[in-house]
Chain A
Amino acid sequence: MSKITVDNLSKQYKVHFKEPGFKGSIKSFFQRRVETVNAVHNLSFSIGKGEMVGFLGPNGAGKTTTLKVLSGLLYPTAGRVEVLGFTPHKRQEAYLRQMTLVMGNKNQLIWDLPASETFLVNKAIYDIPNTRYKQTLAEFNEMLNLEPLLKKQVRKLSLGERMKCELAAALLHRPQVLFLDEPTLGLDVTMQAAIREFITTYNKQYGATILLTSHYMADVTALTRRIIVIDKGQLLYDGDLQTLVEKMAPFKILSLSLREGKSADQLGAFGQIETLSGLKAKIRVPRGRATAVAADILTAVKVDDVLIEDPPVEDIIRQIFSGEDIQNGGAA
């Protein structure tokens, strides 16, 4: 039984265009140029209970629009969307009580007060009983180390500290469905890791269904097994992250630590050379032959170490966005 169903979703916006400058303003005053933008086009997917799915796409691909439709902020131009059996854009109370939308670039906390005040407001709005409130807060505190932050004005918190509080405020009512839009945006590596760990723990502990977008591949590889990739509002890929890597990159990278310098010609015999500088070399070899080639290298060349790696997910995603065909594994 899937918790999130998106069936042929389309969302169009009308956008006003204005030429720059005073003349443009006068012109647009009398004659407005309106264009229809297809933010999302015939998008379909479904997500099961407790699943954590990464939602990828370049800027303007339609990710945020889709999340807004799913959370109920926007209504679809066409198609059907169902979350927990509700039609999100009706924003029924019973639905709102079970979901949350966190946007990394938007602030939901009361700006001039400590975060704990927002927590108390949410406690009242979501009817959270005292004992459960204390218990949840204690859990979050343990995972996110909120204690030192709770009494500081939100405006005085650093971006990372604020994000921790944002997440806590958004999850206090223990929603079953989470839409996270760039939850780690602009955070340093340590903070990203803390947020990631928190999301994973929440997912496990409460069996919550989570759809998240991120520009940081580390988020995606750490959090999700399944990814949905869209571009220009259309579905490019929906499935296992590892499978995608294998499809898009039917090769592996052998990272060599050489004991003595070798020329490109000498190493070129084993595969396509990606980089060669000093005693470090990276060679691209067909996926199926990676171990065999590695064995050949070990016998033929003096090396300290051979590592067999997948190419970075960033590169693969970039390939998809640059329009290379997924099905045929365009990078072969």
Chain B
Amino acid sequence: MSRITHWLRVYGALFRASFGVSVTYRAQLVIWVLSGILPLIMMTVWITVAQDQPGGQINGFDQTAFISYYLAVTIVRRLTGVWIIWDIDEDIRQGTLSAKLLRPLHPTHNYLTMAVTDKPVELLFILPPVALAAWLTGAQYNFSPQNMLLFGVAIIGAVGIEFGVTMAIGALAFWITQMMSVMEVWFFSRAFFSGWIIPIAMFPDFLQDILLFLPYRYVLSFPIELLLGRLNSADIGLGFVVQWGWVAFLFLLFPKLWRRGVSKYSAVGA
């Protein structure tokens, strides 16, 4: 019990501090949120293309489906994105990690807090305009309680994958100075394969089959597909197995990498 209160207090304090830092950079926060409108530009492109198709549809997406999809993208992207790689890079290469290692608290907790602190504030900024747009355009979602519960679990899984990938790639900074270029590869491929720019349903079938088992779909597209009510129970079951399989794999992998990395850090000079 006292362990639990200890952790509650630690996370409470970390969140408080992390939130304080975010508020300091509120301009940056607004810019981040505004940068999320790229998917809406893609939306207009797809709607134009769809209108020229027979039946006004591409791969089962009509105008309403595209609108619903891309509006959801703007929200889910903010909810699941983890942008702490620069902090990890700085900590390891500038040596600020040292101070964190000498506290009786693993730095992972720090990073996890930093990764999710901004979410509520960002949501506060972005949810009202998107909700208004959804209402005006007649976007359609499945808001049943059961589906919202599944959506919630899928969001947590998505954050888990994002955080796990970031921590695993971040640990590479212990060995290579250009860790950020590896991260760029993740960022770039994720933009493409997670459904951020193009819905996965628009890809050729073989690619869709492959993406079913890679992590990309599960950080963005999967929760959105749930929200749109486009999945049957078999799809949903498989989706959760793959998503949480990746979460489990990454959460086994990154602590191992960090243990090795930190011991190397302790060998060559912190």
Contact = CB atoms under 8 A, between A and B. Distances in A.
Interface residues of A, number: 34
Interface of B: 6, 9-10, 12-14, 16-17, 20-21, 24-25, 95-96, 98-99, 101-105, 263, 266-270
B6 A120 contact: no
A74 B95 CA distance: 12
A106 B98 contact: yes
Contacts of A101: 102
Contacts of A127: 6, 9
A77 to B, nearest CB: 8
B175 to A, nearest CB: 13
B104 A13 contact: no
Contact of A71 (B13, B102, B267): B102
B20 A75 contact: no
A117 B20 contact: yes
A72 interface: yes
Nearest to B99: A108
9 contacts: A73-B102, A73-B270, A74-B270, A75-B266, A107-B99, A113-B24, A121-B14, A124-B9, A125-B104
B24 A124 contact: no
A117 B12 CA distance: 12
Interface centre among A13, A107, A120, A122 (most CB of B within 10 A): A120
Given A73-B266, A75-B267, A113 B6 contact: no
A96 B104 contact: yes
B1 to A, nearest CB: 14
B17 A121 contact: yes
Nearest to A93: B104
A18 interface: no
What does DSSP make chain A's interface, helix, strand, loop or mixed? mixed
A68 B270 contact: yes
Contacts of B263: 75
A234 to B, nearest CB: 19
Tell me what chain B mostly uses at the interface: helix, strand, loop, or mixed.
Answer: helix
A126 interface: yes
Among B6, B21, B24, B267, the one with the most A-chain Cβ atoms within 10 Å of its Cβ is B267
A123 interface: yes
Contacts of A33: none
A99 B103 CA distance: 9
6 closest Cβ pairs, A-B complex: A124-B13, A108-B99, A96-B104, A73-B270, A124-B9, A93-B104
B10 A124 contact: yes
Given A72-B102, A73-B266, A93-B104, A110 B21 contact: yes
Contact of B17 (A14, A97, A106, A117): A117
A74 B16 contact: no
A112 interface: yes
A79 B32 CA distance: 51
Given A73-B102, A75-B263, 9 more contacts: A73-B98, A75-B266, A75-B267, A96-B103, A112-B20, A112-B25, A117-B17, A123-B13, A125-B10
A91 interface: yes
A106 B95 contact: yes
Contact of A120 (B13, B25, B104): B13
Interface string A5-17: 0000000011000
Contact of A74 (B6, B21, B267): B267
A287 interface: no
Nearest to A37: B269
Contacts of A118: 17
B16 A117 contact: yes
A232 interface: no
A118 B266 CA distance: 25
A225 interface: no
B102 A113 contact: no
B101 A73 contact: yes
A153 B20 CA distance: 11
A112 B269 contact: no
Contacts of A121: 13-14, 16-17
Contacts of A112: 20-21, 24-25
A312 to B, nearest CB: 34
Interface in A64-93: 65, 68, 71-75, 89, 91, 93
B21 A14 contact: no
B216 to A, nearest CB: 33
A123 B21 CA distance: 18
Contacts of B104: 93, 96-97, 125-126
A153 B17 CA distance: 12
B21 A125 contact: no
A253 to B, nearest CB: 42
A165 to B, nearest CB: 14
A117 B103 CA distance: 16
Nearest to B95: A106
B22 to A, nearest CB: 9
A121 B10 CA distance: 7
A135 to B, nearest CB: 19
A65 B269 CA distance: 8
Contacts of B10: 124-125
A187 to B, nearest CB: 20
